[in-house]
Structure 1
Amino acid sequence: IRMEAWYEEDESRSKREKRMVFFIVAIALIVFAACVTLSLVVGILTSFDEIVYEDPVDPPFYQSITQSALNNHLQQFETIAAQYSNSRSVNNGYNASVEYVKSQLQNNTNYNVYQQHFTITEMIYSSSSLQQVSPVVQNYEEGSDYSIIENSPSGSVDNVPVFPIDASGCFISHFDGFIAGRVALIQESNLCLLEIAVANAEQSGAVLVLVHSDIKSSKPYSGELSSTTSNNIPVLGINYLLGTDLSSALEPNISATVVGEEQTSYTSNLIAETASGSSDSIIIIGSHLDSVPAGPGINDNGSGSAVNLELAIQTYQQALALENQIRFAWWGAEELGLLGSEFYVNSLTPQEKSKIRVNLNYDMLASSNYIRGVYNGSQADPPITKSCTKIAQIYEEFFLDQNLKYQFTPFNGRSDYGPFLEANITAGGLKTGSNGMKTVAERTSFGGLAQAIYDPCYHQACDTLENVNQEILMENAQAAANILQVLASQADLNSYLAE
Structure 2
Amino acid sequence: MSTRPRRPRPPHPLRDRRSPWWRSAALAGALSVAVTAVSAPPAQAQLDDATRRITEAVSADRLRVHLQAFDEIATDHDGNRAAGTSGYRASVDHMVGALREAGYEPRLQTFRVPYFEVVAPATVATVADDGARTRLPSREVAAVEHSVSGEVTGRLQAVDTDGSPGDSTSGCETGDFEGFAPGSVALVQQGECSSGRKAANAEAAGASAVLVFGSGEWRHDRPARGSLEEPGAVTVPVIGLSYQAGVELLDAEEVSVTAETVSELRETYNVIADTGTGDPANTIVVGAHLDSVPEGAGINDNGSGSAAVLVIAEALADTEVENTVRFAWWGAEEIGLLGSDHYVSDLAGNDPAGLEDTAMYLNFDMMGSPNYGRFVYDGDGSGFGDHDSYDAPVGSGAIEEAFHEYFDSVGLASGETGFDGESDYVAFIEAGIPSGGLYTGDDHTMTGRDARRFDGRAGEPYDPCFHRACDDITNIEFQGLEEMSDAAAAVVLRYATSGDGVDLAPPVTGPGGDGPLMALLGVLAVGTVGLATLLMVRRRRRGPAG
- TM category, shorter: 0.5 to 0.7
Deviation string 1:398-456 (CA, Å, 9 cap, x unpaired) is 22223322221120221111111111111111112223333343333334444443322
Aligned to 1:362: 364
Aligned to 2:32: none
Q: Would the aligned equivalents of 2:214 and 2:224 in 1 still touch at CA under 8 Å?
A: no
3-state SS of paired residue (1:482)? helix
Structure holding more helix per residue: 1
CA distance in 2, matches of 1:220, 1:406: 40
3-state SS of paired residue (1:403)? coil
Q: Would the aligned equivalents of 2:270 and 2:339 in 1 still touch at CA under 8 Å?
A: yes
Aligned to 2:332: 333
Deviation string 1:369-414 (CA, Å, 9 cap, x unpaired) is 32222111123766x5331111111111122223322221120221
Trace 1:384-399 onto structure 2 (pairs within 5 A): 385-399=393-407
- Structure number, greater radius of gyration: 1
Q: For residue 112 of structure 1, report the CA deviation from its aligned partner.
A: 2.8
Q: Would the aligned equivalents of 1:222 and 1:459 in 2 still touch at CA under 8 Å?
A: no
Aligned to 1:306: 307
Call closer, same or farther: CA 1:58–1:460 in 2, change over 3 Å: closer
Aligned to 2:78: 85
Call closer, same or farther: CA 1:220–1:410 in 2, change over 3 Å: farther
Call closer, same or farther: CA 1:146–1:68 in 2, change over 3 Å: farther
Deviation string 1:157-213 (CA, Å, 9 cap, x unpaired) is 988677878xxxxxxxxxxxx553399xxxxxxxxxxxxxx997549x999686999
Aligned to 1:297: 298
- Please tell me whether residue 486 in structure 1 is matched to residue 485 in structure 2: no
Aligned to 1:180: 169
Q: Would the aligned equivalents of 1:158 and 1:254 in 2 still touch at CA under 8 Å?
A: no
Greater alpha carbon shift after TM alignment, 435-444 vs 321-330: 435-444
Q: Would the aligned equivalents of 2:231 and 2:265 in 1 still touch at CA under 8 Å?
A: no
Aligned to 2:66: 73
3-state SS of paired residue (1:496)? coil
Aligned to 2:376: 374
Q: Would the aligned equivalents of 2:370 and 2:476 in 1 still touch at CA under 8 Å?
A: yes
Trace 1:30-49 onto structure 2 (pairs within 5 A): none
CA distance in 1, matches of 2:215, 2:372: 24
- Please tell me whether residue 103 in structure 1 is matched to residue 97 in structure 2: yes
Greater alpha carbon shift after TM alignment, 145-154 vs 345-354: 145-154
Aligned residue identity for 2:488: A
Aligned to 1:315: 316
CA distance in 1, matches of 2:447, 2:305: 24
- Please tell me whether residue 402 in structure 1 is matched to residue 410 in structure 2: yes
Aligned residue identity for 1:336: I
- Please tell me whether residue 116 in structure 1 is matched to residue 129 in structure 2: no
Q: Would the aligned equivalents of 2:367 and 2:480 in 1 still touch at CA under 8 Å?
A: yes
CA distance in 2, matches of 1:116, 1:387: 28
Deviation string 1:21-74 (CA, Å, 9 cap, x unpaired) is xxxxxxxxxxxxxxxxxxxxxxxxxxxxxxxxxxx9556232221110000110
Call closer, same or farther: CA 1:147–1:444 in 2, change over 3 Å: farther
Call closer, same or farther: CA 1:385–1:206 in 2, change over 3 Å: same
Call closer, same or farther: CA 1:154–1:72 in 2, change over 3 Å: same
3-state SS of paired residue (1:93)? helix
Call closer, same or farther: CA 1:292–1:223 in 2, change over 3 Å: farther
CA distance in 2, matches of 1:368, 1:209: 38
Aligned to 1:4: none
CA distance in 2, matches of 1:345, 1:351: 12
Call closer, same or farther: CA 1:322–1:199 in 2, change over 3 Å: farther
CA distance in 1, matches of 2:213, 2:307: 36
CA distance in 1, matches of 2:281, 2:417: 31
TM score, norm. by length of structure 2: 0.62
- Please tell me whether residue 454 in structure 1 is matched to residue 462 in structure 2: yes
3-state SS of paired residue (1:442)? helix
Deviation string 1:82-106 (CA, Å, 9 cap, x unpaired) is 2111211231311111111111111
Q: For residue 297 of structure 1, report the CA deviation from its aligned partner.
A: 1.1
CA distance in 2, matches of 1:336, 1:347: 19
3-state SS of paired residue (1:124)? strand
TM score, norm. by length of structure 1: 0.67
CA distance in 2, matches of 1:316, 1:213: 55
Aligned residue identity for 1:108: A
Q: 1:411 aligns with which of 416, 419, 424?
A: 419
Aligned to 1:52: none
Runs of 4 or more, structure 1, over 4 Å off, are: 56-59, 126-131, 137-142, 145-165, 198-201, 205-214, 218-236, 251-261
Aligned to 2:279: 278
Query: What percentage of residue pairs aligned between the two structures are identical?
Result: 31
CA distance in 1, matches of 2:270, 2:352: 20
CA distance in 1, matches of 2:117, 2:325: 37
Q: Would the aligned equivalents of 1:199 and 1:231 in 2 still touch at CA under 8 Å?
A: no
Q: For residue 277 of structure 1, report the CA deviation from its aligned partner.
A: 0.4
Q: For residue 322 of structure 1, report the CA deviation from its aligned partner.
A: 1.2
3-state SS of paired residue (2:504)? helix
- Please tell me whether residue 438 in structure 1 is matched to residue 446 in structure 2: yes
Aligned residue identity for 2:264: Q
CA distance in 2, matches of 1:399, 1:476: 9
CA distance in 1, matches of 2:95, 2:366: 18
3-state SS of paired residue (2:71)? helix
Call closer, same or farther: CA 1:306–1:149 in 2, change over 3 Å: farther
CA distance in 1, matches of 2:267, 2:282: 31
Aligned to 2:432: 424
CA distance in 2, matches of 1:153, 1:464: 31
- 5+ unaligned residues in a row in structure 1: which ranges? 1-55, 166-177, 184-197
Call closer, same or farther: CA 1:322–1:86 in 2, change over 3 Å: same
Call closer, same or farther: CA 1:337–1:254 in 2, change over 3 Å: farther
Greater relative contact order: 1 or 2 (C-alpha under 8 angstroms, separation 6 or more)?
Answer: 2
Q: For residue 360 of structure 1, report the CA deviation from its aligned partner.
A: 0.7
CA distance in 2, matches of 1:482, 1:231: 50
Aligned to 1:64: 57
Aligned to 1:342: 341
3-state SS of paired residue (2:107)? strand
- Please tell me whether residue 324 in structure 1 is matched to residue 332 in structure 2: no
Greater alpha carbon shift after TM alignment, 100-109 vs 278-287: 100-109
Aligned to 1:262: 263
CA distance in 1, matches of 2:393, 2:214: 35
Call closer, same or farther: CA 1:95–1:126 in 2, change over 3 Å: closer
Aligned residue identity for 2:345: N
3-state SS of paired residue (2:395)? helix
